[in-house]
Structure 1
Amino acid sequence: MNFHIYFLSTPIILKTIKETLDKKNSQLVEFHFPYLHELPPHYHTTKDLPPHLNSTLIHAFQMASSKFPSIIETLKPNLIIYDGFQPWVATMASSCNIHAIMFCVTSTSNLAYFYHQFLYGSSSLPSFPFSSIYLHDYEIKKLDIQPIKPRDEKAFGYMFLKSFEQSHNIVLLNTCREIEGKYIDYVSTIGKKELIPIGPLIREAIIGEEEDWGTIQSWLDKKDQLSCVYVSFGSETFLSKQEIEEIAKGLELSKVNFIWTIKFPKGVKTTIEEMVPQGFLESTKGKGMVVEGWAPQSLILNHSSIGGFITHCRWNSILESMSFGIPIIAMPINHDQPLNSRLVEELGIGVEILRGENGKIMKEEVAKGIRKVVEEK
């Protein structure tokens, strides 16, 4: 069929996909926020956004929502597909007699857990039927994963689950039945919607597109097959100095080769040298490579020397790791990551690094997790 697709988002987000689209059948439509002094245009995306501005970004989307009806009146789409943190999209689309369906970008096991909680609250009956998917007490208390509170319309979780409820009969999922079949069936039953898995959706990196790949590839080429771990916490999760130091000590203790990408929020003036333990870069020279900022993750994971992936367990990273057959060393930090980490262990595709009191990262457990995956193959 001859579809024409409009991609509506902020200019900075559209810029990242502009060159990858088929211009014949698609068109970019810019969605502009009202001026907010604390949220300049380069912050109109979750990528590299300082954590304290997350709620401001959501508020900016809500402030700009009044422009949406005029946009859809101009474009006259037959169907709208929206992400889970803009529940107003479905409401406004419905008022214009247009069907809107949600695209869920996180795992369906996460959706199942939190939608169950959303429906049944603190009631002990019925209990969540999948015992392998759970939260530790410290995760509920410390890691920004609070129980969903009805009518708390500013909470991320509430908005996400309202988006699910308002989706017109269907919800699209970035997963497949082979990975999460039982969770798809459960959410479909309690949510009374048809859930359609269309994943896993993974963008392939093309050699030549990635500027830094040559240096990284040359380093990896010198290492034995499956002898290295890749360490990355994505572009939206930032670690404290204490956490970075403990991971660094764990890497050194493991004596395993590693490549580690470290990112800092935009506007934060610090260096890798200031964040890692004194002498770490010198003592691991040759055995480790530390990259500040961004690195071509899919190219790295697809390299023959990579034998494990230390990740915070955002869903896209898990899907990428699975697609390349790389076992996961799970170190969840917040949001959907802890439940994704439990799924990793349930599926048998990796191990989760044990934590200390209140979820403290411990160098000994980091080293143990690395050795278990890389050396005990």
Structure 2
Amino acid sequence: MMYMYHLKIHADVAKKLGIPRIMFHGASYLARSAAHSVEVYRPHLKAESDTDKFVIPDLPDELEMTRLQLPDWLRSPNQYAELMKVIKESEKKSFGSVFNSFYKLESEYYDHYKKVMGTKSWGLGPVSLWANQDDSDKAARGYARKEEGAKEEGWLKWLNSKPDGSVLYVSFGSMNKFPYSQLVEIAHALENSGHNFIWVVRKNEENEEGGVFLEEFEKKMKESGKGYLIWGWAPQLLILENHAIGGLVSHCGWNTVVESVNVGLPTVTWPLFAEHFFNEKLVVDVLKIGVPVGAKEWRNWNEFGSEVVKREDIGNAIRLMMEGGEEEVAMRKRVKELSVEAKKAIKVGGSSYNNMVELIQELRSIKLAKV
């Protein structure tokens, strides 16, 4: 409650003093637009059950979801819903907002968001292409430390021994929590897929059984040479750029979505919490550069959730991404084209470059008007 109070005060004071206040959104334009539409039109209340599909109204595309895939704060009022309401109100009082996105990635939603919110906004992404220009920067993106050099060399040596495009990169971000039963399904699906894989896993004190299972699985994969486990943080940018990586299995966190586009890789989408299910709609239904694993239930980031995605479903999604014939070729072509556009966006004359120049000029004009 105190945070909401401070947020209101900051917005009001900045407006009163004429200080340009800019909000940064760590999600996609589609996700923010979809959340706004659900808040305004409440389409999920018309669905007969939690698993019945409904169309999110007033969006550039006809996107379907179920109640179970919505964040809990959108399904029914809670304290977080009040916080999101305050954030939206403070944005309308602000000078504008910035997103880690670029125009070609979600152009219709970029325009739509500015229209429905009635505020200025600038897509300045991909941020990682601006900020991570060399290998040391890319390693730091994964919080790699010098004393972990031997571990880094291990995964790099392993990756470099594999054929081009043959390895799956499997990562669910730093905040995921899976029960033992789900870890078993993932492990069997990866082993049975026939593809090499590098899996970023995290130990969880609440899931000791899962930790023991993963350690045994790691030993087995070392013996076969088919899989490599990284415990904790991983230098994701360096891994994604490696010639051996052929695709991702991901939770659809926005940073990972953008980074996979940067390097031109398709994704098996497995949304978990936050705005992940909205991001999945962009990847699968709008851009058509991903294959859904079939996750049906949103959960809080600090909970295991009740859904367990079966190994057969995981395996089918991997197969479609890695061995999908003409459909796979078309998907890879689309994401490669987006990769080219991502790099163009931050160069002189690109959409994000121009947005950055425009934002700086507008802020400079405000400063000069006060002199």
Tell me the equivalent position of 2:290. 350
Checking the alignment, whether the CA contact within 8 Å between 2:68 and 2:296 is kept in structure 1 is no
Tell me the equivalent position of 1:147. 75
Give 1:137 shift: 3.1
Aligned equivalents of 2:313, 2:220: Cα separation in 1 = 20
Give 1:221 shift: 0.8
Checking the alignment, whether the CA contact within 8 Å between 1:117 and 1:147 is kept in structure 2 is no
Q: Secondary structure at the match of 2:63?
A: coil
TM-aligned CA distance change 1:287 to 1:164, over 3 Å:
same
Aligned equivalents of 1:145, 1:353: Cα separation in 2 = 24
Tell me the equivalent position of 2:322. 374
Q: Secondary structure at the match of 1:234?
A: coil
Aligned equivalents of 2:28, 2:212: Cα separation in 1 = 35
Q: Secondary structure at the match of 1:99?
A: coil
Aligned equivalents of 2:208, 2:133: Cα separation in 1 = 29
Aligned equivalents of 1:331, 1:254: Cα separation in 2 = 17
Aligned equivalents of 1:156, 1:238: Cα separation in 2 = 24
Aligned equivalents of 1:205, 1:321: Cα separation in 2 = 16
Map 1:1-377 to 2 at 5 A.
61=3, 65=6, 86=7, 88-122=9-43, 127-140=57-70, 144=72, 146-147=74-75, 149=77, 155-168=82-95, 170-202=96-128, 203-204=131-132, 206-208=134-136, 210=144, 211=149, 212-264=151-203, 270=208, 273-276=211-214, 280-285=217-222, 286-345=225-284, 346-355=286-295, 359-376=307-324, 377=328
Could you say what the CA RMSD is over the residues aligned between the two structures, in angstroms? 3.0
Q: Per-residue CA shift, 1:172-230, capped at 9, x if unaligned? A: 22111111111111121121112221112114274355434221110101111100000
TM-aligned CA distance change 1:272 to 1:153, over 3 Å:
closer
TM-score, normalised relative to structure 1: 0.68
Tell me the equivalent position of 2:345. none
Q: Secondary structure at the match of 2:35?
A: helix
TM-score, normalised relative to structure 2: 0.69
Gaps of 5+ in 1: 1-58, 66-85
Checking the alignment, whether the CA contact within 8 Å between 2:33 and 2:59 is kept in structure 1 is no
| Count of aligned residue pairs for this structure pair | 292
Give 1:275 shift: 4.6
Larger relative helix fraction:
2
Checking the alignment, whether the CA contact within 8 Å between 1:231 and 1:260 is kept in structure 2 is yes
Letter in 2 for 1:176: F
Q: Per-residue CA shift, 1:267-316, capped at 9, x if unaligned? A: 6584864254x953344331001111001000000000000111100111
TM-aligned CA distance change 1:335 to 1:88, over 3 Å:
farther
Give 1:165 shift: 2.6
Letter in 2 for 1:308: G
Q: Secondary structure at the match of 1:199?
A: coil
Aligned equivalents of 1:218, 1:177: Cα separation in 2 = 37
TM-aligned CA distance change 1:200 to 1:269, over 3 Å:
same
Give 1:105 shift: 1.6
Give 1:166 shift: 3.0
Gaps of 5+ in 2: 47-54, 298-305, 329-371
TM-aligned CA distance change 1:352 to 1:154, over 3 Å:
closer
Checking the alignment, whether the CA contact within 8 Å between 1:152 and 1:158 is kept in structure 2 is no
Give 1:163 shift: 3.8
Aligned equivalents of 1:340, 1:126: Cα separation in 2 = 14
Aligned equivalents of 2:103, 2:118: Cα separation in 1 = 18
Structure ranking higher on relative contact order (CA contacts 8 Å, 6+ apart): 2
Q: Which stretch has the larger CA shift, 313-322 or 153-162?
A: 153-162
Checking the alignment, whether the CA contact within 8 Å between 2:248 and 2:265 is kept in structure 1 is yes
Q: Alignment identity in percent?
A: 25
TM-aligned CA distance change 1:160 to 1:226, over 3 Å:
farther
Q: Per-residue CA shift, 1:149-172, capped at 9, x if unaligned? A: 4x956645334433433323x222
Aligned equivalents of 1:240, 1:173: Cα separation in 2 = 33
